[in-house]
Structure 1
Amino acid sequence: MGTLAGHLVPGSALALLGLWHIINTVQAYHLKGPKHFRSCFWHSLTSPFSKLAYMELVLIISFSIFSIVMQVLDYPLFSFAFKLNNYEHATMFLHLMIYAGFTLVTAIMHKSDILFEVSGVLAASVFGQELFLLHCHSADHVGLEGHYHWLMQLIVFVSLVSALSTTKCSSSFPSSLVLSISVVFQGLWFINMGFMLWVPEFVPKGCTIRLGHGGDSDMHGAVMCGTHKAGLRARALANLQFSWILAGIMIFVGCICLFSAKKVTPRVQSIEYERLNSRVAEIPLSVAGFKQVNYP
């Protein structure tokens, strides 16, 4: 993953997956209402072809296999050199493939509701292993690169906690929404890391990219800052980027919620209508004193 493409491709996939979940989660909440809402770890694709309903899980499995192969082959060198950091990245996708594979089988067997908690535990394990491998990475990120990875760990930790919360409380809309938001945040932050750490034009002022020359001990693409002041400024810029990206996601979520609420008929009106009908039905109709009149 030590290239711009290595950050851009998986980051874009995560961001699109999270956006897909945000839209479906918000729509399901407004359509079903608070009492009937139930979280989902995957969303089927509405299509006349039944096989396309599992498109999300199939794409996750396919992308995971592709990413594992690219890591083992050490893209872009395409060699079988054993590098610990590559196998650590591949292991993250391995856990993602296990979750998607199990969930796909349960969906095909129509056992998703029964095994919902198991899928939730496997989804949480994906984030748990990601957090563990990022924190104990063999490529010991230092300096500005280490700060970016530390901020990434914060996002993954939120994903882990929200996945566990969603598994425990499947009717919790906030937990499901936070989980989707954190996935989008992971993807966008990964893309941001790719540009800020691997494109010389985006490197903060006073810092430079030090490219490695091979070997696991080299800090490939590590950003080195010339002075302590430049390092502090670069970290402050990273913190601002973190907040700005989160703000952009929240604006998007707010717009989606408002748009969905506008399209869906408020359930309060239907409830009041049902109450009114029930009250009318309870009123006794005293017609004994009236005589039926037949018109010719």
Structure 2
Amino acid sequence: MGTLAGHLVPGSALALLGLWHVINTVRAYHLKGPNHFRSSFWHPFMSPFSKFAYTELIFITFFSVFFIIMQVLDYPLFSFAFKLNNYEHATMFLHLMIFASFTLITVITHKSDILFEVSGVLAASVFGQELFLLHCHSADHVGLEGHYHSLMQLIVFVSLLSALSTTVFPSSFPSSLVLSISVLFQGLWFINMGLMLWVPEFVPKGCTIRLGHGGDSDMHGAVMCGTNKAGLRARALANLQFSWILAGIMISVGCICLFSSKKITPRVQSSEYERLNSRVAEIPLSVTGFKQVNYP
């Protein structure tokens, strides 16, 4: 993953997955209403009864297997050289594959409702292992690259907390929405890291990109800043990018919520109407329950 493609490909996949979850989470909330909403760690494609319904889980499983193979084979060298870097990245996708394959089996066997909490624990383990391996990475990311990875750990930490919260409180719309947003943010930040650290044209002023060759300790792409002032400026730019990307996500989520509220009639009104009708229907029953007593 220490290449431009190694960041753009998984970053794009995560961003699309996060956007897919944001749209479906908001849509489900507007359709079911706050009283009937239930979180989901996956969403069917097209319709639950379609043959393409399990596309998301199948895609995640095969995508994870593909990236594990690419890391073990040390793409683009395609050799079986044991590199801690690559095996750490492969382990992240291993946990993602475990979550997706287990959830797929529960859906196929119609046990997804019973084992919802188990899928939630596995989803949380994906982010927990990602956070652990990023924090204790064998490749010592220093300087600007280390700062980008520190900001990435903040996003993953939010994903971990929101996954646990969604597991414990499956009817919580905010937890489910934050989880979807954090996955989208992870993907976009991965893409941003790839561009800012591996494309010479995007490297901040006063810094240069150094391409490593061979050896586990040698980083594939490391940005080196000539002066302390240039390094501080580059970190400040990274902080601004972090805030700007988050602002763009929040604007997009707000627009999705507003658009969905116009297109979909909330279920809350119908449920209140049904509750009012049920109360009216109960009145005659209570009246007929009294018997008229005639005294002699």
Q: Provide the secondary structure at the position in 1 that maps to 2:75.
A: coil
What's the counterpart of residue 115 of structure 2?
115
Structure 2 residue 237 is matched with structure 1 residue 251: no
What's the counterpart of residue 188 of structure 2?
188
Q: TM-score, normalization: structure 1?
A: 0.92
What do residues 229-276 of structure 1 show as CA deviations (whole Å, max 9, x unaligned)?
000000000000000000010011000100111112244543454355
Q: Partners in 1 of 2:272 and 2:35 — Cα distance?
A: 16
How has the CA–CA distance of structure 1 residues 268 and 13 changed in structure 2, closer, same or farther, with 3 Å as cutoff? closer
How has the CA–CA distance of structure 1 residues 108 and 266 changed in structure 2, closer, same or farther, with 3 Å as cutoff? closer
Q: Provide the secondary structure at the position in 1 that maps to 2:51.
A: helix
Q: Provide the secondary structure at the position in 1 that maps to 2:54.
A: helix
What's the counterpart of residue 127 of structure 1?
127
How big is the shift at 1:277?
4.0
Gaps (5+ residues) in structure 2?
A: 285-296
Q: Partners in 2 of 1:48 and 1:114 — Cα distance?
A: 18
How big is the shift at 1:220?
2.1
Q: Partners in 2 of 1:158 and 1:12 — Cα distance?
A: 20
Any conservation in 1 of the 2:14–2:184 contact (CA below 8 Å)? yes
How big is the shift at 1:45?
1.3
What's the counterpart of residue 260 of structure 1?
260
Q: After alignment, is 259-268 or 29-38 more displaced?
A: 259-268
What's the counterpart of residue 232 of structure 1?
232
Q: Partners in 1 of 2:283 and 2:59 — Cα distance?
A: 58
Counterpart of 1:223, as a letter, is V
Q: Partners in 1 of 2:84 and 2:271 — Cα distance?
A: 59
How has the CA–CA distance of structure 1 residues 35 and 227 changed in structure 2, closer, same or farther, with 3 Å as cutoff? same
Q: Partners in 1 of 2:279 and 2:94 — Cα distance?
A: 58
Quote the sequence identity (%): 88
How has the CA–CA distance of structure 1 residues 32 and 272 changed in structure 2, closer, same or farther, with 3 Å as cutoff? closer
Counterpart of 2:199, as a letter, is V
What's the counterpart of residue 37 of structure 1?
37
Q: Provide the secondary structure at the position in 2 that maps to 1:52.
A: coil
Q: For 1:132-171, list aligned pairs within 5 A.
A: 132-171=132-171
Q: Provide the secondary structure at the position in 1 that maps to 2:209.
A: strand
Q: Provide the secondary structure at the position in 2 that maps to 1:191.
A: helix
Counterpart of 1:55, as a letter, is T
Q: Provide the secondary structure at the position in 2 that maps to 1:53.
A: coil
What's the counterpart of residue 213 of structure 1?
213
Q: TM-score, normalization: structure 2?
A: 0.92
Counterpart of 2:189, as a letter, is W
Q: Partners in 2 of 1:268 and 1:54 — Cα distance?
A: 29
Counterpart of 1:135, as a letter, is H
Q: Partners in 2 of 1:95 and 1:4 — Cα distance?
A: 23
Counterpart of 1:187, as a letter, is G
How has the CA–CA distance of structure 1 residues 84 and 199 changed in structure 2, closer, same or farther, with 3 Å as cutoff? same
How big is the shift at 1:102?
0.5
Any conservation in 1 of the 2:34–2:268 contact (CA below 8 Å)? no
Gaps (5+ residues) in structure 1?
A: 285-296
Structure 2 residue 21 is matched with structure 1 residue 21: yes
How has the CA–CA distance of structure 1 residues 36 and 211 changed in structure 2, closer, same or farther, with 3 Å as cutoff? same
How has the CA–CA distance of structure 1 residues 101 and 167 changed in structure 2, closer, same or farther, with 3 Å as cutoff? same
Aligned residues: 284
Q: Partners in 2 of 1:206 and 1:256 — Cα distance?
A: 40
How has the CA–CA distance of structure 1 residues 158 and 213 changed in structure 2, closer, same or farther, with 3 Å as cutoff? same
How big is the shift at 1:116?
0.2
Q: Partners in 2 of 1:167 and 1:272 — Cα distance?
A: 28
RMSD: 1.5
What's the counterpart of residue 89 of structure 1?
89
How big is the shift at 1:52?
1.4
Q: After alignment, is 272-281 or 258-267 more displaced?
A: 272-281
Counterpart of 1:22, as a letter, is V
What's the counterpart of residue 291 of structure 2?
none
Q: Partners in 1 of 2:183 and 2:194 — Cα distance?
A: 17
